[in-house]
Structure formats: C-alpha cells, structure tokens
Amino acid sequence: MNAVAENPYWMPFTANRDFNRRPRVIAGAAGHWYTTSDGTRLYDTFSGLWTSGLGHCHPKIVEAVQKQVATLDYCITFQVTNDKALALADRVTGMAPEGIDHCFFTNSGSESVDTALKIALGYHRARGEGHRSRLIGREKGYHGVNFGGMSVGGMVPNRKAFGTTLLPGVDHLRHTLDIGRNAFSRGLPEHGLELADDLERLCQLHDGSNIAAVIVEPVAGSAGVVPPPPGYLERLREICDRHGILLIFDEVIVAFGRLGHAFGAQRFKVTPDIITTAKGLTNGVIPMGAVLVRDEIYDAYMNGPEHMVELFHGYTYSGHAVAAAAGLATMDAYAEEGTFQQAQTLEPHFEDLLHSFAGHGKVIDVRNFGLMGAIELAARDGAPGARGLEVHKRCFWEENLVVRNGMDMLQFSPFLNSDPDEMERSFMTIRRVLDAID
C-alpha cells in the first residue's frame, strides 16, 4: 500500500510523511503493554502520554465506563448536571490542598489552561481590578495548544507558526534548564533559584498591580523534564503574594501521582491559587480536565443578581457523565491500590536506572523528579532530533518498546505501579539501542 498517499489522518505533533512511510499502529492494550495491529506486544515506557499511570484498560475503570454509558451517556451540562460530575468535583477537591474547594470541568489540558487564565482575569475584574490583565508564563513552558496556553507557553516551535496572533500583554520568566551548571542532577537541581526573581523584575517593570496571573508547571514536562531549583516555587509564591498576583500551577502532567502525591503542590508544599489538571484525572480513559480553584476566587464571582450566569465560559462536554464516571473509578483505584505510595517507592529505583546513563558518550544530561525522567542525547551535527527519532523507531520496530522522544530528549513516564524488573529491562533495551546507533 502507498501509505503516504492513502492515509487521510493528519496526525497531531507527528512527522506525518515519515510516519506514513511505515505507520506504527496500536490496536489494543492491557496493563503495561500495547498490542499492535499485527499482534506484536510492546512495553509502554510513557504511560500513554503521561496519562495512564494505573496501566491500560484498568478493569475497574473499564467497568465503570461500561456501566455509565449504558445508564446515562450524556446530559445537558448547562443549568443541569449529572450525579457523576457532582461526585467527582467533590472527590477531587477533597484531595486538593486546603482552601481549594471548587472545580470546573473541561475536556483536555489545553482547555483547562485557557479556562484557568479566563477565571483569573474574571476574578480580578469582579474585584474591581480589571486593569490587572497581564499574564506571565515561562520559557519552555508547555500549556497546550489553544491561544491562551500558546501565548503563556514557551515552546518555540509552537509559537513560531502563530507568533503574530498570540495574546498581547504576556511576558515570560526565563526557563530554569541550566545544563552547564546542573547536568546530571538527581532530583531538584542545585542552581537557579535566582531565576524566580525574574517575576519581581517584571513587577517592577509593569507594576505588579497590572499583572493578573503567573502560570508555571511545577516540573516542566514537555520541555524534557525540568525540575525547579529548591525554593523556586516558594519564591514565586512569595512574590505573587506581595503583588496580589494569582499563581497557577499547570499540573496536567504532575497531578494524580506522578510526583507521589495527589498534587504537585503537595509534594512541593506550595499552594497555588489555581491548579489545572487533565490526563491522570481519568487515567486517560476518557478525555477530561479539571481546573481547581481557591475559594476566594469562586466567591468573588458569586456576586450580582442570583439568576445571572457568573462565569461566561463552559463546554458542551464539561462534566460529561461517562468521563466523570471514569474519573471516579480512577480515584477509587488510586486510593484502593495505594498508587501514590507505589510511585514514591519506585522513585529511587527509577532515578538509579536513569542515571546509569550518565557516563554514556551520547548522553549530555539526565534529569528526573518523581516518576518523570529525561535522558538528553547529544544532537547529531546538522540534524537535531534525528538521533532521538531513531531511538524511538528502533525501539518500536526492533525492541517492542514505546519510547517517547521530543527531538533528542528521551522522556520517561513510567506507570505509577510499574514492575521494577520490567522497568529495568526497558532501560537495558534503550542502552542497547543507544550503543548500536550513530
């Protein structure tokens, strides 16, 4: 078959022409393994796309979804809701840091981010500070692909194509990746705390009273796992408090166990004003996101005539009954199986496996925190990204392993309930591949 000509599917974030030369197609999954359309089993080193920490086709979630879809598939979400959405909002806010007791549902991480930015702007307006409109993101930040998230995001390829149509009034903190000083750090890197002071500089430049919100990933994920220096998030919190700025943690990747806690905020002991989530909310089974909001923010909206809509925002599928049922079953599984504790226990083993690549000739950095890890390869001369893609493809075709590469960074998001031996074998395979290629 001439796949290049015949494949009508325009794939997301994919080199489509390269893919079409030899399509990699998955048709089934169970636990920690995928099955391709020709029946080959592949070990998944990325938990889906940071999504499926409990493993694929978790029986409890499958059952809950099957039951829900046959009981109530969809019901109108504006002015009416369903029992599962109410229960999930209650459940998730119950796991959140104290004072964060409200939850707005979306369908993805990108929607969670744009929702959070709008909630922040509306909050200031509701308090008579509508002039607080500036938004601050960070270089290398990934906050999804909608216009708000792209604007505060700092992934250059995402911004390049749309650079002239992004939101105005956005600034960026410098990123904290410093391979020169921090290469091969285990966990949080030593250097770079002073970079948090970029926020204070922007407050001096614009006057803090014009800044609505700062959004950061507690650990940058898509940028290739960039944990913050110790004290960095605390310092952002202090500066935000000093200037009345809302702090948003984008926890689309880190929430629900990836850092060994329900929320990254709890691991870092820093409480933001808004938390964005998606992915692990339903173990990736049904698309869903949630924006968790501090009480003061919600309360500020609850003004004016009671018959009027307070927040002019929402999605047809906000709080979808089947997604919410998947979310509830996911939360049950996390609790019953002690998943967050399992993740904590695996962390040192995972760290050791990653850092066993530290002396490898093709590796320029290894970074990790929680169950997030990256091995950064040296780029080939004149062909950045080629070495990373070759590892991905060789692992897929020759080693039955799904390995995520972002350019020359290999990224790892092991299952929260990984079998240590399986995890170890996957890294031995990657080493073999790395040794074999140019």
Q: Are strands 100-106 and 41-44 parallel, antiparallel or unpaired?
A: unpaired
Q: Is 68 exposed, middle or buried (0-12, 13-18, 19+ CB in 10 A)?
A: buried
Residue 108 or 417: the one with the smaller Cβ distance to ligand PXG is 108
- How far is residue 213's CA from residue 132's CA, in Å, rounded to a whole number? 9
Q: Does 166 bind ligand PXG (CB under 6 A)?
A: no
Sheet containing 170-173: order of strands: 100-106, 289-294, 274-277, 246-250, 211-216, 134-138, 170-173
In the complex, what is the shortest distance from the CB of residue 298 to ligand PXG, in angstroms, rounded to a whole number?
A: 22
For residue 277, the SS3 value is: strand
Q: Does 247 bind ligand PXG (CB under 6 A)?
A: no
In the complex, what is the shortest distance from the CB of residue 376 to ligand PXG, in angstroms, rounded to a whole number?
A: 14
Q: Does 253 bind ligand PXG (CB under 6 A)?
A: yes
If you ran DSSP here, which 8-state letter would residue 31 be given?
B
Q: Which of 48, 122, 144, 370 binds ligand PXG (CB under 6 A)?
A: 144
Q: Which of 47, 82, 182, 222 binds ligand PXG (CB under 6 A)?
A: 222
In the complex, what is the shortest distance from the CB of residue 302 to ligand PXG, in angstroms, rounded to a whole number?
A: 28
Q: Does 368 bind ligand PXG (CB under 6 A)?
A: no
x-or-dash pattern for ligand PXG, window 33-72, by CB under 6 A? ----------------xx----------------------
- How far is residue 159's CA from residue 37's CA, in Å, rounded to a whole number? 35
- How far is residue 182's CA from residue 189's CA, in Å, rounded to a whole number? 6
Do residues 122 and 128 touch, judged by C-beta distance below 8 A?
Answer: no
Residue 108 or 426: the one with the smaller Cβ distance to ligand PXG is 108
Give residue 115's Cα distance to chain centre: 15
Residue 175 or 243: the one with the smaller Cβ distance to ligand PXG is 175
What residue type is 421 in one-letter code? Answer: D
Q: Are strands 274-277 and 246-250 parallel, antiparallel or unpaired?
A: parallel
In the complex, what is the shortest distance from the CB of residue 106 to ligand PXG, in angstroms, rounded to a whole number?
A: 9
Q: Which of 113, 203, 401, 433 binds ligand PXG (CB under 6 A)?
A: 113
Q: Which residues bind ligand PXG (CB under 6 A)?
A: 49-50, 108-110, 113, 142-144, 217, 221-222, 250, 252-253, 278, 404, 406, 411
